[in-house]
Amino acid sequence: MEPVILSNIPFNVNIELLMKRIRLKKDNSHADDFRHLVEEAQAIARPKAMYRPVYIESKDDDHVVLEGVSLKSRILKVNLENAYRVFPFVTTCGMELEDWARAKEDMLLRFWAERIKETALHSAIGLFNKYVSEEFSIEKKSTMTPGSLEDWPIEEQRALFEIVGNTKDAIGVELTESLMMKPVHSVSGILFPTEVNFESCQLCQREKCPGRRAPYDEDLYDRRYSK
């Protein structure tokens, strides 16, 4: 199937919540500067997502083939055991905010602008998840991202981008030679329907990770993924 582009993603910042997150009190003398910055960002932000509904062509012990492209990951293969159609995707805060933030010379404004970009990325991820769930009547789903686990390393970004399509022209996201995404506030991965909830964090031992979404489960790999 052809790639789908979501470019009309609403971006409404909950200013009070974001101020709490960055520990900026309402009565701080910089609070109005922050509000002004958010208004500026909201006027230009265009968070986006691009995904491609694809059927699984084949699987073996630790490979899955989509659109003629082989992805190497034992965990991905097991997670897709009962799936027949999956959704490789790239979501982003958008180049509009990237360029806007880069032009800020003041360190504090730059820091705030980065947090606003994160919020825009979350808007894109949220809308993409909602859209795919509704469009394809998916009740339970999980995602996997190349580079989040040793089993599916960052090098697999090349294959993932090959499947999704020309993200640079469509949504402005470029995969660099060092396999970073530009804008950096972008997330790529595969969304898949599943009855068994999966988070990479369950298999990740990194301590004190601010992004942790689930506790580390030291037996999970042996229980579910070992051959």
Q: Is 201 one of the binding residues for ligand SF4 (CB under 6 A)? A: yes
Q: Do 205 and 212 contact (CB within 8 A), yes or no?
A: no
Q: Show the DSSP H helices in the chain as ranges.
A: 15-21, 31-44, 74-79, 95-102, 107-135, 157-164, 167-171, 220
Stretch that binds ligand SF4, among 37-45, 81-89, 91-99, 207-215 (CB under 6 A): 207-215
Stretch that binds ligand SF4, among 62-70, 86-94, 189-197, 201-209 (CB under 6 A): 201-209
Task: Write the interaction track for ligand SF4 spanning residues 146-175; mark x where CB under 6 A is met and - where it is not.
Answer: --x---------------------------
Residue 206 or residue 223: which is nearer to ligand SF4 going by CB?
206
Instruction: Give the total of residues touching ligand SF4 (CB under 6 A).
Output: 8
Q: Is 73 one of the binding residues for ligand SF4 (CB under 6 A)? A: no
Q: Do 200 and 217 contact (CB within 8 A), yes or no?
A: no
Instruction: Please give the angle made by the CA atoms of 205, 207 and 210, to the nearest 5 degrees.
Output: 115
**Residues in the chain, how many?**
227
Q: What is the DSSP letter of 150?
A: T
Q: Is 208 one of the binding residues for ligand SF4 (CB under 6 A)? A: no
